[in-house]
């Protein structure tokens, strides 16, 4: 029997729990999470409620469990060095150490790494500790007719990036945000706004080898038609051929090559192997592919698109990431399309309702349901304020997958909303048309 310790209690961790338990091996699952996720509780042999940022508490639980390895879901504990802490008590993690996790936790680290090792994919960018220099660079980009993106240089729970034209208009507004970032983190990144279509490419990484998962597109804006504030992601889709309708094979090859080069650069830079998930947020632009950012963990919702399609033994893949033997395992994904729609509390993300009850539908065949920011209180399922429940439709085509996810999401009762347009032909066609247009110009 093997024991796996899973850290985190959202929908991403729910699908991780499910995928760990689908292993053909005899696996017992132990979980450390902030809330009582009913889906994960049902799958686990042990469940401890606590703060995932309290390293001593996590370590104490790990000492009791003595797992074969740990899987860390969320970015915050990874960025704070939980993998380093667990190793001190002899527990290996599927997650990078603190140094490698800077790939996600520091925007300047990643931009500088690409530049230092001559890896393609960076936009024009500058890293500033001085606000006058930041302003000068902003004005310089503006003089070239380039719009700006300003990035706080630390983890800000998805609120650390502002884009000209989307979140602010004048350079002064951008510089004000830059000043706040310098105050908080000592640094700010100012870069060229890229125009194109974003996609997520997640790879299993062991420090030497990478193995890619199917490509996915996320929807960050809260409301239909890509309007409203940015969120953690309102839903995602992936296609049966593991590509996306607006991407070419060449685009994906470029993204894959960037990830491989970054893995190699990380090893040289840190003298340490990056193990876990390298999740590249890429953007297909007029003349190829650029890098928006890396995350050092599974995406949420992206994990729910790909892990249900995984045909191989995830526990074996985890061990291979730890042992640097990813080249020795076959990693196979089913050729199916997926659409994930998140049901979220009314008022999300700015002022979500909390504490209200939610009633879930009977699940149609072909639909998976994952619990996120909800708490099981007796017989009631209660909203906690962030994304609540994810529905994933799986089918032979995007149309079928979308119809399935939609049928479940629309049947939830409670003070909630979701985006009907995610995964629909109309929205995807808009993206295909946009790419055609910018590539023809």
User: Are 308 and 338 a contacting pair, CB within 8 Å?
Assistant: yes
Interatomic CA distance for residues 87 and 206, integer angstroms: 16
Please, where are the H alpha helices in 159-214? 171-185
Q: Is the peptide bond before 53 cis (omega within 30 degrees of 0)?
A: no
Comparison of 111 and 209: residue with beta carbon closer to ligand GLY: 111
State which residue, 192 or 356, has the beta carbon closest to ligand AMP. 192
Kind and range of the H or E element at 62?
helix 55-65
Which stretch, 32-40, 153-161, 239-247, 322-330, contacts ligand AMP (CB under 6 A)?
153-161
Alpha-helical (H) ranges within 89-218 are: 98-105, 107-116, 131-143, 171-185
What DSSP string describes 288-350? EEEEEEEESS--TTHHHHHGGGB-S-HHHHHHHHHHT-GGGS---B-S-EEEEEEEEETTTTT
Could you tell me the smallest distance in angstroms from the CB atom of residue 15 to ligand GLY?
A: 13
Distance CA 84, CA 39 (A): 29
182 to 96, 130, 234, 416: CA distances (angstroms): 26, 8, 30, 37
**Dihedral of alpha carbons 74, 76, 79, 85, sign:** negative
Nearest CB to ligand AMP, comparing residues 184 and 193:
193
Backbone angles phi, psi at 391, to 5 degrees: -115, 130
Binding to ligand AMP (CB under 6 A) within 241-300 occurs at 281, 292-293
Nearer to ligand AMP, 158 or 186 (CB): 158
Kindly state the tokens that stand for 39: 């889906």
Task: Say how many residues touch ligand AMP, by CB under 6 A.
Answer: 15
With CB under 5 to 8 Å by kind, the binding choice for 36 among ligand AMP, ligand GLY, none is none
Nearer to ligand AMP, 50 or 165 (CB): 165
Of 240, 230, 234, residue with least CA distance to 342 = 234
Nearest to 205 by CA among 118, 311, 317, 294: 317
Nearer to ligand AMP, 104 or 319 (CB): 104
Member of 13, 75, 191, 269 binding ligand AMP (CB under 6 A): 191
Site for ligand AMP in 353-372 (CB under 6 A): none
Minimum CB distance to ligand GLY, residue 237 (Å): 12
Q: Is 287 exposed, middle or buried (0-12, 13-18, 19+ CB in 10 A)?
A: exposed
Q: Which residues bind ligand GLY (CB under 6 A)?
A: 218, 233, 295, 299-302
* C-beta of 179 vs 198, nearer to ligand GLY: 198
Q: Name which position in 57, 131, 146, 163 contacts ligand AMP (CB under 6 A).
A: 163
Q: How far is the CB of 48 from ligand AMP (least distance, A)?
A: 30
Q: Minimal distance in Å, beta carbon 200 to ligand GLY?
A: 7
Least CB distance to ligand GLY at residue 105 (A): 13
Minimum distance, C-beta of residue 303 to ligand GLY, in the bound complex (Å) = 8
C-beta of 15 vs 27, nearer to ligand GLY: 15
Shortest Å distance, C-beta 100 to ligand GLY: 17
Residues that bind ligand AMP (CB under 6 A): 123, 149, 158, 160-161, 163, 191-194, 198, 220, 281, 292-293
């Amino acid at each position: 029997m093997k024991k796996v310790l899973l850290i985190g209690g959202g929908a991403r961790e729910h699908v991780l729990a499910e995928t760990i338990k689908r292993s053909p091996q005899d696996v017992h699952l132990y979980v450390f999470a902030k809330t009582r996720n009913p889906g994960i509780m049902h799958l686990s042999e042990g469940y401890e409620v606590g703060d995932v940022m309290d390293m001593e508490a996590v370590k104490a639980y790990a000492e009791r469990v003595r797992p074969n390895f740990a899987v860390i879901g969320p970015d915050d504990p990874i960025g704070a060095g939980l993998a380093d802490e667990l190793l001190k008590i002899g527990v290996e993690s599927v997650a990078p150490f603190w140094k490698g996790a800077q790939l996600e936790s520091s925007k300047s680290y990643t931009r500088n790494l690409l530049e230092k090792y001559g890896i393609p994919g960076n936009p024009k960018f500058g890293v500033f500790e001085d606000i006058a220099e930041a302003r000068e660079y902003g004005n310089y980009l503006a003089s070239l007719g380039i719009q700006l993106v300003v990035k706080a240089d630390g983890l800000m729970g998805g609120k650390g990036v502002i884009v000209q034209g989307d979140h602010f208009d004048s350079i002064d507004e951008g510089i004000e945000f830059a000043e706040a970032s310098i105050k908080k983190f000592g640094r700010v990144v100012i870069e060229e706004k890229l125009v194109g279509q974003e996609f997520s490419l997640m790879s299993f990484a062991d420090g030497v080898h990478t193995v890619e998962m199917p490509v996915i597109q996320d929807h960050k804006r809260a409301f239909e038609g890509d309007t409203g504030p940015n969120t953690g992601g309102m839903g995602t889709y992936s296609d049966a051929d593991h590509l996306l309708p607006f991407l070419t094979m060449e685009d994906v090859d470029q993204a894959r090559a960037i990830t491989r080069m970054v893995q190699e650069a990380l090893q040289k830079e840190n003298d340490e192997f990056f193990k876990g998930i390298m999740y590249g947020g890429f953007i297909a632009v007029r003349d190829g592919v650029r890098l928006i950012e890396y995350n050092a963990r599974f995406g949420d919702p992206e994990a729910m698109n790909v892990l249900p399609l995984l045909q191989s033994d995830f526990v074996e893949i985890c061990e291979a990431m730890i042992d640097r033997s990813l080249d020795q395992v076959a990693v196979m994904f089913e050729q199916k399309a997926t659409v994930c729609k998140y049901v979220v509390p009314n008022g999300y993300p700015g002022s979500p309702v909390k504490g209200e009850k939610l009633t879930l539908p009977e699940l149609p065949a072909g639909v998976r349901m994952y619990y996120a920011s909800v708490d099981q209180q007796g017989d009631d399922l209660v909203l906690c304020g962030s994304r609540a429940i994810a529905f994933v439709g799986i089918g032979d085509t995007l149309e079928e997958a979308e119809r399935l996810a939609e049928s479940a999401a629309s049947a939830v009762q409670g003070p909630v909303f979701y985006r009907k347009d995610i995964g629909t032909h109309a929205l995807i066609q808009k993206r295909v048309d946009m790419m055609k247009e910018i590539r023809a110009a």
